Structure formats: C-alpha cells, structure tokens
Amino acid sequence: MDEKHLEDAHEAMRESIEHSQKTDAAHEAQLGSGAGSEQSAEERKATEELSAEINRLAEAFSRAVRAAWQSDQRKQLETDLNRGLRSLVDNVEETLVKFNRSEQGQELREQAERVVVKVRSSKVTEDLRQGLTKGLGVVAAELQELAERMEKGEAAHSKSASSTTDDPQDIPVSREDGENKPGDTPQA
C-alpha cells in the first residue's frame, strides 16, 4: 500500500463522515426547530462530538499507517524479502541448468521424447481418441434428451398447477408421541 492509497483511504473516510453529518443535519431539519427543543440541541451536540471523534480517529489511523509504511523497518523487510526471493530463483535456475547439462538430465530428456513419439504414433492412442469422441457424443445426446423431457415435464406440471384451485390444503401432521394438538390433522 503506497502513500497515494493511504491518502485515498483517508479521503474516503473523511467524505463518509461529512456525508453522515449532512444526513444528520437533514434529519434535524425534518424534525423541525421549535422552541423548547432542548433534547434536539443535545442530540445535535452529541452527534457533532461523535463526528469530531470519528474524524480524529480517521486522521490518526491514516497517520499511523503512513508512518508504518514509510518506516525503515518495513523498507528493510521488503529489501530482505526481495533479496531472499531473488536468491531462491537464482538457485532453482542454476540447479535446473546443471541437471539439464548432466548425463542424467540428457537421458531423461531423451526418454521423454521417445515416449511422446510412441504415444503420438500408437494405434492405441488413435483408438482411444475415437472411442472417447463417440462416448462423449452419446453422453451429449442423452443429456439433451433428458433436458427436453424435463422441460416438457415442467410445462405439463405448471399447466396442471395453474388449473388447480388456490385453496389451502390440510397437511396431515403426526407427532412422535402419537398425540395430536388442536388443529393437527390426525393420520389414519
């Protein structure tokens, strides 16, 4: 988080407080200003004090975050992390380069290339590809048929539901203890 973001956050908090104050003022205007509105004046004073305290808190928080961001400790930590990550990346790259140049790395690369060539030229791979294509086609057709049946079923259900009366229905309720409360419909 840079200083610009901190300033933006501080400004947003300040705008929120100003909006709250305007809303409070509008609310007070709606209540009216009559003589003997001592309680209204007390509420107004309490609201202003609260707004002032929130504004002071926002400013203090903004200064604290800005100070932490600009501190030497944070800058040193960032520098140390960057150095550590750069060292890690360099070590991994060096290890990979050494492995690729080694006899074992060369053998591994050659074996991988032979496997790729065999897989690409294999009849089994072509048969698998064709079987998978056919299987996926069958599954897609079945899903399409299922969707059509469900859509037809929903249409039929909504027609039958709209043709029934809207009268409430008694739903039988049975209790575990076998007793029924007044209003319960006994199970036969």
> What's the confidence (pLDDT) of residue 36?
45
Q: Are 29 and 70 in contact (CB under 8 A)?
A: no
| 30-79 tens-digit pLDDT | 655 554 455 678 888 888 888 888 888 888 888 888 888 888 888 899 99
pLDDT of residue 91: 94
At 31 the pLDDT is 59
Per residue in 88-109, pLDDT tens?
Answer: 999 999 998 998 889 988 898 8
The Cα–Cα gap between 186 and 70 comes to 75
Closest CA to 60 of 6, 5, 2: 6
Helix (H, G, I), strand (E, B) or coil at 93: helix
Query: What number of CA atoms fall less than 13 Å from residue 9's CA on the CB side?
Result: 16
- Greater pLDDT, 171 or 83: 83
The residue-averaged pLDDT of 147-169 equals 69
Q: What is the mean pLDDT of residues 2-12?
A: 69
Task: Note the pTM of the prediction, 2 decimals.
Answer: 0.34
Residue 171: what pLDDT? Answer: 61
Sequence-distant (≥ 6) Cβ neighbours of residue 9 within 8 angstroms: 62, 65
Find tokens 């400790």 and name the residue. Answer: 73
Q: Rounded to 5 degrees, what angle do the CA atoms 121, 129, 108 make?
A: 45
Domain boundaries, the chain: 123-158
Residue-averaged pLDDT of the chain: 77
- pLDDT reported for residue 16: 72
- Residue 92 is predicted with a pLDDT of 93
Confidence of residue 1 (pLDDT cuts 50, 70, 90): low
pLDDT at 170 > cutoff 50: yes
